[in-house]
Amino acid sequence: MQPLIKTKQSSHLMYTILAVGMLHLNRASPSKERSIAESYFWQHALQHYQKALSSKLSKDNVDAILSSCMLMSVMTVCPENFQPTDSWVLTNKPEAMNWLCLQSGLRCILTLASPYIPSSIWATAFAGIDKEGDEIFDSPQQGREGLDPDLADLCGIDDFTTENINIYYSPLRILTPLLTLERDASNSGHCTSFMGRLECDFVNLLRERDPPALIILAHWMGLMCCLSQWQPWIEGRIRGECTAICMFLEHSTDPRILRLLQFPAEACGYKLHTDS
């Protein structure tokens, strides 16, 4: 029986699979030797992946490229020994948030690969995700109905606001239904998709450490901390990033920010100084 994807003919995928496997072993049981091997596999995976992306997408390579892209996201959210003080929020190093920027990579590839998706091994999975996503994110396209009043006020959203005039509107509309879902294994994957739905303008606000944007992201991170038993990769970076945002914003003089920090702080296990 022939494999669905021939990794020998898709070297980037072969190296990516080896790197992810080594990452899993290293996080479960750290080893200096395996750490060197993990770095070696990631280096070659990225080099070969970059080369593959420079070629034209086709029905013959789309499955391997999509698979590598999804597996590579593991590397960015499961760094070794990540601490809150490593976050871009506290270091003010924009490159430290590249992990979040990379999450939109799959969306870009899907746009380019759209003619080949129907015949892809991922076609059924993507179709199911799209169908369920349409049901979850079927929300008003204008106004503040259903939004948390403090979040809406902090983001300058009124009854006439749309995504075309307010950068915060779309991510907040995506986040709101996720916060209302039953917190179980079946919904944890839907909540994960928030990262890949963020547009560049909003990510730029995060890069600038804009408080309303950070609050929105912190609420998603807090939600993911509540789902960590089904998404264990959360412990690699997300809990620490959420803690960093709480540490950065906890001295704000805006009472709305302090109220809105309560949920993410409790979810990630950080005790706000304002509590005392």
The closest of 3, 1, 30, 25 to 14, measured between CA atoms, is 3
The closest of 191, 192, 189 to 180, measured between CA atoms, is 191
**Cα distance between residue 77 and residue 211, in whole Å:** 22
Q: What is the pTM of this model?
A: 0.87
pLDDT value of position 1: 35
Alpha helices by DSSP H, 93-237? 98-101, 105-113, 123-136, 149-154, 169-180, 185-192, 200-207, 211-226
Which regions of the chain are under pLDDT 50?
A: 1-3, 276
pLDDT value of position 214: 98
pLDDT value of position 183: 93
Residues 6 or more apart from 198 whose CB is under 8 A from it? 100, 103, 104, 171
pLDDT value of position 106: 84
Domain boundaries, the chain: 7-123, 128-275
**How many CB atoms are closer than 10 A to CB 156?**
13
Would you give the DSSP letter of residue 56?
A: P
> Which residue's structure tokens are 């960093």?
244
> Which residue's structure tokens are 């005392």?
276
CB 230 within 8 A of CB 185: yes
Would you give the DSSP letter of residue 208?
A: T
CB 69 within 8 A of CB 109: yes
pLDDT in tens, 80-94: 889 999 999 999 888
Would you give the DSSP letter of residue 58?
A: -
pLDDT in tens, 94-105: 889 989 988 878
Residues 6 or more apart from 120 whose CB is under 8 A from it? 59, 62, 63, 66, 113, 126
pLDDT value of position 2: 42
**How many CB atoms are closer than 10 A to CB 154?**
20
